[in-house]
Amino acid sequence: MAKQTISDVDVASKKVLMRVDFNVPLDGDQKITDDRRIEMALPTIKSVIDRGGKLILMSHLGRPKGEVKSEMSLGPAAQRLGELLGSVVHFASDTVGPDATAKVEALADGEVLVLENLRFDEREKKGDEAFASQLAAFADIYCNNAFGTCHREHASMFGVPKAMGAKPKVVGALVEKEIKYLSGVISAPERPFVAILGGAKVSDKIKVIENLLGVCDHVLIGGAMAYTFSLANGGKVGDSLVEKDKVELAKELMAKGGDKLVLPVDTHCGDAFNDANCNKQIVAAGEIQDGWEGFDIGPESAKKFAEIIKSAKTVVWNGPMGVFECAPFAEGTKTVAQAIADSDSVSIIGGGDSAAAIGQLGFEDSVTHVSTGGGASLEMLEGKTFASVEVLDDQK
């Protein structure tokens, strides 16, 4: 999957159309509450403008469903980008309309223009070819730097590079890094290779579990989905979150995984969901009584998981071990995160809650790679290829 990168092409005086992920959270006053996605795009943005390219940025924000909604405008993101760059960033009030067209034409070398929210136009999510062609007409070079939407065949992700014809179509630094770790490292891991999978539902991770059982030395299961496996083992799960319709599937996965599939041996329970003051107890796995709910792996499980992680040379983690946002039930996730941070392994953290946990615990600088895409990272862990990446130019 090695693709041409933005640094491989000459951008001087060329118009570069770059898909970024500026889907940042905004408060009621249109203030950005977390600008990490903008900051993470800066190296690729600077690579273009520092070499004299004319940069046109496009992104989505929120779910406006094809309607113009002022509270989902990319204006605040454009303003914040200007502050981070210390230079003027132009903003177009539309995507392919007269304002965007005029401002693209007026761009000087080294300048940046942000187009309005792609999803204000319903044709973006539909992958509309005409819309994609209008966007493609703006540019001499296309750059995909939005890994979080790489699993989507939207107009800006797939239609635009397809419409670019023989013009250069490359990846930015973020997508290059994601491919390197999520695809490259996993396809030829240094062993022992350990995967840690958590979260609520087995159904969300079926394909990931199946794929990783084929390549990992150990697959550790935590989070609420462990209770579905516990039920499949004939255990008592009390009021825990389970997927009864996935019990047979859990049995199949346990049979396929054998000793590779490592389940919790104890559980930290509470009698009220997400309440720090609820009654708590630790019981053996499969011994949760009615009126009690499993909210975290127990201390023995955490210790067992940490020992396995300690010997690993490659670690992939996707999904917390429990309700980590509620202090009494964060210990399992903390122990696993600490073990990963302390290990000498190549450590890859899937997006979403795992990335949030690593960030909250202050371990971001102690792991090898934190993915920027939740759904996209999961699909890559399943072994899927993305049409939006396949369409880009291969390394020569």
DSSP structure string for 228-263? HHHHHTT-EETT----GGGHHHHHHHHHHHGGGEE-
Among residues 3, 15, 37, 162, which one is catalytic? 37
DSSP β-ladder status, 236-237 and 280-284: unpaired
Among residues 172, 298, 352, 374, which one is catalytic? 352
Q: Active-site residue 123, yes or no? A: no
Q: Active-site residue 19, yes or no? A: no
- In three-state secondary structure terms, 68 is coil
Among residues 97, 110, 359, 375, which one is catalytic? 375
- In three-state secondary structure terms, 366 is helix
Q: Active-site residue 37, yes or no? A: yes
Among residues 201, 251, 260, 303, which one is catalytic? 201
Question: Following CA atoms 270, 203, 246, 292 in sequence, which dihedral angle do they give, to the nearest 10 degrees?
Answer: 0
**Gap between the Cα atoms of 368 and 314, Å rounded:** 10
Residues 204-222 as b or e (16 or more Cβ within 10 Å = b): bbbebbbbbbebbbbbbbb
Q: Active-site residue 110, yes or no? A: no
Do residues 294 and 240 touch, judged by C-beta distance below 8 A?
A: yes
**Gap between the Cα atoms of 242 and 225, Å rounded:** 7
**Gap between the Cα atoms of 385 and 289, Å rounded:** 43
**Gap between the Cα atoms of 171 and 2, Å rounded:** 10
Q: Which amino acid is at 212?
A: L
User: Residue 372: which of 178, 165, 82, 169 has the closest Cα?
Assistant: 178
**Gap between the Cα atoms of 257 and 249, Å rounded:** 12
CA distances from 204 to 125, 276, 293, 375, 382 (A): 23, 27, 21, 10, 11
**Gap between the Cα atoms of 204 and 352, Å rounded:** 13
Active site residues: 37, 201, 352, 375
